[in-house]
Each structure stands twice: as structure tokens, then as C-alpha cells.
Structure 1
Amino acid sequence: MSDRITIETLGHKGDGIAHEGGAAIFVPFTLPGETVNVSRDGARARLLSVETPSPERVPAPCPHFGVCGGCELQHMSEDAYRSFKRGTVTEAFRRAGLDAEVADLVPCAPASRRRAVFSALRIDNRVLFGFHEALSHRIVSIHTCLVVVPEIATRLAFLEKLAIALIDRKRELRMVVTHTTAGLDIAVSDAAKVDARLRQRVLELALAPGIARLSVDGETIVEPQAPRLDVDGLGVLLPPGAFLQAVAQAERAMAEVALAHLAKAKRVADLFCGIGTFTLRLARRQAVHGVEFDTPALAALDAAHRGVPGLKPITTERRDLYRRPLTTKDLSRFDGVLFDPPRAGAEAQCRELARSTVKRVAAVSCNPTTLARDAAILVEGGYKLLSVTPIDQFLWSHHIEAVALFER
């Protein structure tokens, strides 16, 4: 049985929203003003057909659109898409009680994502390899992907073959694939037990051209070439599965905004610094103290800057900033702070910053809601919110990066 409803607005995750009897109905792949036929399941509904399309509706370029959960906004015109993403950030700050100056969206090009996370699962005698459906544990088998770099997109059949060789009969396999200057870095987790026979099989596969390293559940199986990333001209050895910004161009855009704001600082703390995405760039001009909990990431940062002429001093510290944020006393050594936390944000650290004497702060975030929350803490502590710049690196999805700048 189907229902005919009219979409009123978009939610922050890109779903169309209608109301019936005072209750909200969420319909993926729809746009405001559209009359659609849906199959309802509680508050959520499945789109069956579009009766009256929006002028902003365009043909989706990917054949997997509507099934694959990765790119849920391909049906939006470019103008509507940019407006939605910028509006997501504006609305998050409005809900936090902040009147933020939000810049235009910095766009993201197709075929630019250098990292992808694939899944594989054995179902009876076949293996499904691809991405998850939206809000589901089901896996969509894919034969193309328009957002990843060609070096990954052209190797999908090879990656599937590798997943089939390594898959466990009872667990879902996870495969993180990163394009590096040396080739693909492939980090597999939740794989089958690698015995001598399986090791020989995957060795034969992974010695194919263009593969820099294969690791399985933390063990390096083969590494023909050290997988390195270019960070502002410096080579950083990538630990298996380590975090990095998904799109190199987006990373440069974030760094450009944040570093320009911190240019006059003499000593900067880079919190949640990871492998040194911002630390190494900052060290071109000022002394930097990088703080991170992940030991391999810190080791990669330490190795990257040693012996490089012209860099200012870099010190590092392993510290869980959620449990032990830098205190106001710790922060007194710095006149600039940059932080780029996980999606949960940096609430505890911002409460310390709000009581500090740090002059300038640059906040990088992949979650507008927690960024706005943290911004409100800083503003309440006496900082002025100067600007917010939304940066797209998750093309055709509702996810958005942003850089917020503060000064005291």
C-alpha cells in the first residue's frame, strides 16, 4: 500500500520531510515541493515514485544511486546542493545561539576522494563486495564509483578478488583503501585467519602493480613500497588504517584557512594532530606542539620532520584529549591553537580554552553540530567568532567539513 505526500523541507541528513497528523515522515531521495508516492514504515518511508518533481531535481550520474548509501544527494541541482550544505552549517550555529558569518561552500570535484572503506560479506556461496545501503547492514555490490580517485575506481575488481580470498565465513570484512604516492595502501580487518596457504595466495595477489602495502588485522603481509602521503611537500609514511583527510584538495583548503588565521602566532598547539596534516604545514613558520593519542600517527609525524631543513621546532605528546585535555596552565605556553577532533568534537578541551589566554583558535570539524556546540563554549568564554568556512570533501553526501576561526 502506498501513500501520496508532499515534501516540505530537507532534514540535516538530506532526507525529505513531510508531516501527517503532526508526525514527521522522512523520505530519502526527495526534494522540497515534490509530490511523491511512498511506502511507509513508521517515521521513515521508501520512495516509490515522484509524481510532481522539483525544478531542482536532476538525473543522478551514478548507476548505484538510490541503493548505495554513500551518495544520497546526487538528485539535487548544483545550486540546491551547495545551498543545502552551506545551510547545514548555518543552521547548526543558529541552533547553538550563534549568528555566524558562513562563507560560500568550497566545492569538491568528482573522482577526488583518495580513501574509501569497502565491506564484504559471505552469503551462502557468494560474496557481496561494496558499500552499505543507507541505514542498513546490507551490502550493495558495486562496479563503479564516481567519487574515488581513478587509481581506486579502476581496481574495484581486483579489490573484490582480494576480499573474496580473505573473507571470514562468519564476519563482515572491512577494507580501507588509500591512494598514496607509492600506490594503494590496503588495510583489511576482520579477515579469516591467515595461515600459510592463505598468506601465499594473498601475497600473489598483492604483488600486482600499483599496490604499495597490504596489511591484515594489523599485520603487514607485503609492502613492495612504503606508502607515503605528500603533506605540503613532505613525505609522511602512512600507518595502516591511519586517519587522514579524504580529499587532498579539501585538506589544502582547510589548511589555507586555518594557517592564515594563525600566521602571526609564535607558538601553536595542534590538538588531535594525527599524522601531522596541519602540524607540518604550521612548522614552516612557527614552533608547533602536536598532541595525539594514536601512537603510530605520532611516530609517523616524528619521522616526517626529522632532518628536514627549514622547519621550526616540532614537539609531540601522546595524550587522550578527551580524558585529559590541555589545561589552562598547559595552554599558557601558546598564543595559537588548532584542533581537529573526531565527530564527537572537543567539548572538554574547549572548556579549558575558554578559560585560557590563547589569542587565536582555528577549529576544524566534520560535524557542524558539535562544532557549533564547541564554538558556543568559546564565545561564552570571551572569544569572538570571526567566520565559518564550509568545505565539501564528501561529495553528494550530507556530510560537511567546516573551519571556524576565533580570536580573543
Structure 2
Amino acid sequence: MTELTIERLGHLGDGIAEGPVYVPGALPGERVTGTREGDVLRDMRILTPSADRVAPPCPHARACGGCQLQHAADGFVAEWKRDAVRQALAQQGIAADPDLPITSPPRSRRRAAFSVRRTKKGALAGFHMKASDVIIAVPNCILVHPELVAALPMVEALGVAGASRKGELSVLVTLTETGLDVAVQGGKPLDTTLHQSLAEIARAHDLARIAWDGEIALQRRAPVLRLGRAEVTLPPGAFLQATREGETALVDAVKQALTGAKRVVDLFAGCGTFALPLTESAPVHAVEGDRAMMRALDHAWRNTEGLKRITHEARDLFRDPLLPEELSRFDAVVIDPPRAGAAAQVAQVAKAAVPRIAHVSCNPATFARDTATLIAAGYDLEWVRVVDQFRWSTHVELVALLRRRS
């Protein structure tokens, strides 16, 4: 047996001891023992618990891989997430002191990707066990919205109808204003028999839509989300913020950052999370690589009264970023890239010298890298706001305001 003292919490949520040795489920300051396998401590037993350790509130926490930090007190997690942003910036030589995160409540996730596998007696739906392909049933999950928990029998029915005996379905379920939107990946070919089964499942569970391996199999109602005043019909599997509360916090921060802007460009705009609310006060040019999301944004804008103009273009901003001469006609930029950040596009924004930038990010490390580029080009980082809509996970999101020095 190996005995260790945990020094810090890693970015994946494991405790880290000297070595480094990674200890899943441990917290800083704890003295633990277990069996060391390479750089991982297995079969951990806690000798001295942390004052920040709590009993996980979810009955599935010990086995389910959906949450990494239910064993840590909310205050500890909030401070750890704030510190993750602070340290990422410090590694780039940037000093910042963000407030504690705005955290989404339990049972608020409006989208979940369930796994389902056929069994001899039917099907089993849930989330994967930690570091395993074994599916754990989660009938009392306290992370996702109750309507998603109630949808588990529907997910199992999809498994019975459309999964092979050896395969596994991924079923993405989204709670919309008009009902559940379901997108299935990994299923059998969609033949007449399967289509009839899907229609029966949709009626029995009052689903808005089912997409099967990227194609809409049936639609009883358009799956609609409200973004600002607009109602957006989501393309199957389209990106959206995980919780309504998290989305509100992010949008409010972006609006604050761009108060008074006269013309805005929204880069990596998605279906209009920021673009549509911003058009209540200023015209917006939205740019996104996914054409279906651009069509959804445009349709929503055209069918909503009282908004300023939205123009849009489908464009791969990694390979073909907007250039300074294209950006110079705007006085504010919103940029919300994927986890990899947007080094190529940020380099062009820096050259364009747009007065204000609302930088949204889900990765403190790439955010800090891109922010360092902007600071070197003449911007000041005025504030950073942390948003935790992935409660009990290691994910961190944030919004920052950067302003060009005169």
C-alpha cells in the first residue's frame, strides 16, 4: 500500500500528490492510501479527510461518470474554478481577480447525451461508469432537468427499436419550449419498420422531433428555443448553452460589455445565442461555420418584430478568419470559439483594432493565450466573469471585456 498527501486538484478533477501521482476522488490536503499503478493510485482509502469533503448529493455519484466533483463542497468548487481562470491568465503574465462563479442550480441541465444498449429483456439507458463503457442507470439524476430524467423510458424504447445487439446508441435529448428534441447516433439503418417504431415512440412520449444519424426522421412540432425575443428552431444536434441560467448569465455579461455599441460582429455565432439578444439594441453581423445554424438564426430574425438588422455568413473562421479590413467597420466584437480557442481569428481582430471585445470561452488556457495576443496588440483586460453552468464538473466558462487603449 502507498500513502500520499494530496497537494492540489488537477484540471480533470483528480487529486495530485508528489510525483505526480493522480488520485481520483481525492481533495487537496487529504492523506490517502491505496495501490499505486504507475502514476495512478487505485482503491483509495482516506486517512485524513479534507474539511471541504461532503457526502455526494446524488445516489449515482460513486459509479456514474457524469459528475467529477460531487464529493467537494460548493464553496471549494467555486473557488477552484475561479482560481483556474486566475492561474491560466497568470501563466501568460496577466493579472486578474474574477468574482466567484455564477453557478447553475441542480436539475437545470436542459440537454443530456444518454447511452443506451439493448439487453435480453429490453434496454438499459443512462451514463457511462467512470473510465468505462459500462452504462449506469440514472433514474434519480440530480444534474439534468426532471423532464430529461423522465425521458429515460423513451431512450430505452429507442434502444429496443433501433440498436443492434452488440452496438450502443447515443441519444441526445434536448428540452425545448415545444417538447423534447431527440437526436440519435449509431443506430440501425432507417427502414420502414424502424420509422413506424419511431413514430409510435414519438406519439407515446409526445416528442417534438426525432433525428436519426443526422437526418430528421419525423417532426411533430418544430423544436423551439427562445433567444432574447426570438424563437429559434434548432437544427438537429446544434450547439446550445447547457442551462437557461448559464445562458442568461453569459448573455447578460456580453450585453454589459457591449453597452452602447453601434455595430457588432458575432464570431462563432451558432444559432444566435448572443447575436439575437444584441439586435434588440444594435445591428449584428453573425459568422458561423455551420450553415444549418446560420439558416436557423436568419429564420428566427426574420420572424421576430422589433429587432435591428442581422446579416450573416457561413464561414470557417479557423481556415478563413475575417480580415482587418472586414472587421474595421465594427465597433465591437463578440467571439465565442470552441475549446481550441481562435488563435488565427484573434490575430486578425488584434490587427483590426476594434474598440471593444466581449470574449466568451469554455477553456481558461486558450482564453488566456488569445487574451495575451490582444493585450500585446494594445488592449486592456477590464474584467472577467466566471460562469459555472456545468455544475459538479471540471468545466469552466467565462466572459471578459477587452478594450482598446486610446
What TM-score, normalized by structure 1, do the two folds share?
0.95
Which runs of structure 2 are paired with 1:96-175 in the superposition (5 Å)? 96-122=92-118, 127-175=123-171
Which runs of structure 2 are paired with 1:2-401 in the superposition (5 Å)? 2-19=1-18, 23-122=19-118, 127-401=123-397
In the alignment, structure 1 segments of 5+ residues that lack a partner are none
Q: CA RMSD in A?
A: 1.6
- Is the 1:28–1:47 contact (alpha carbons within 8 Å) kept by the matching residues of 2? no
Equivalent pairs, count:
404
In structure 2, distance between residues paired with 1:333 and 1:219? 39
In structure 1, distance between residues paired with 2:156 and 2:225? 24
What's the CA shift for 1:122?
4.9
3-state secondary structure, aligned to 1:229: strand
In structure 1, distance between residues paired with 2:120 and 2:2? 36
3-state secondary structure, aligned to 1:176: strand
In structure 1, distance between residues paired with 2:286 and 2:194? 40
Q: Where in structure 1 do 4 or more consecutive aligned residues deviate above 4 Å?
A: 122-128
In structure 1, distance between residues paired with 2:325 and 2:165? 53
> Are residues 1:403 and 2:399 paired?
yes
Q: 1:38-78: per-residue Cα shift (whole Å, max 9, x none)? A: 23221122343222211111100111113212211111112
In structure 2, distance between residues paired with 1:125 and 1:5? 45
3-state secondary structure, aligned to 1:66: coil
3-state secondary structure, aligned to 1:7: strand
What's the CA shift for 1:254?
0.6
3-state secondary structure, aligned to 1:259: helix
Q: 1:277-297: per-residue Cα shift (whole Å, max 9, x none)? A: 101011001110000111110
Tell me the amino acid that sits aligned with residue 346 of structure 1.
A
In structure 2, distance between residues paired with 1:340 and 1:124? 45
What's the CA shift for 1:27?
0.9
**Percent identity at matched positions?**
46
Tell me the amino acid that sits aligned with residue 89 of structure 1.
V
In structure 2, distance between residues paired with 1:161 and 1:146? 22
What's the CA shift for 1:129?
2.5
- Is the 1:386–1:405 contact (alpha carbons within 8 Å) kept by the matching residues of 2? yes
In structure 1, distance between residues paired with 2:133 and 2:383? 38
In structure 2, distance between residues paired with 1:116 and 1:40? 34
In structure 1, distance between residues paired with 2:200 and 2:384? 49
Q: 1:385-407: per-residue Cα shift (whole Å, max 9, x none)? A: 11111100101001011111100
Tell me the amino acid that sits aligned with residue 152 of structure 2.
L
Q: 1:170-203: per-residue Cα shift (whole Å, max 9, x none)? A: 4432111100011100000111112222221221
In structure 1, distance between residues paired with 2:147 and 2:290? 28
- Is the 1:10–1:32 contact (alpha carbons within 8 Å) kept by the matching residues of 2? yes
In the alignment, structure 2 segments of 5+ residues that lack a partner are none
- Is the 2:118–2:159 contact (alpha carbons within 8 Å) kept by the matching residues of 1? no
What's the CA shift for 1:125?
7.8
- Is the 1:29–1:66 contact (alpha carbons within 8 Å) kept by the matching residues of 2? no
In structure 1, distance between residues paired with 2:289 and 2:348? 18
What's the CA shift for 1:133?
3.2
What TM-score, normalized by structure 2, do the two folds share?
0.95
What's the CA shift for 1:123?
7.2
What's the CA shift for 1:29?
1.1
In structure 2, distance between residues paired with 1:136 and 1:337? 42
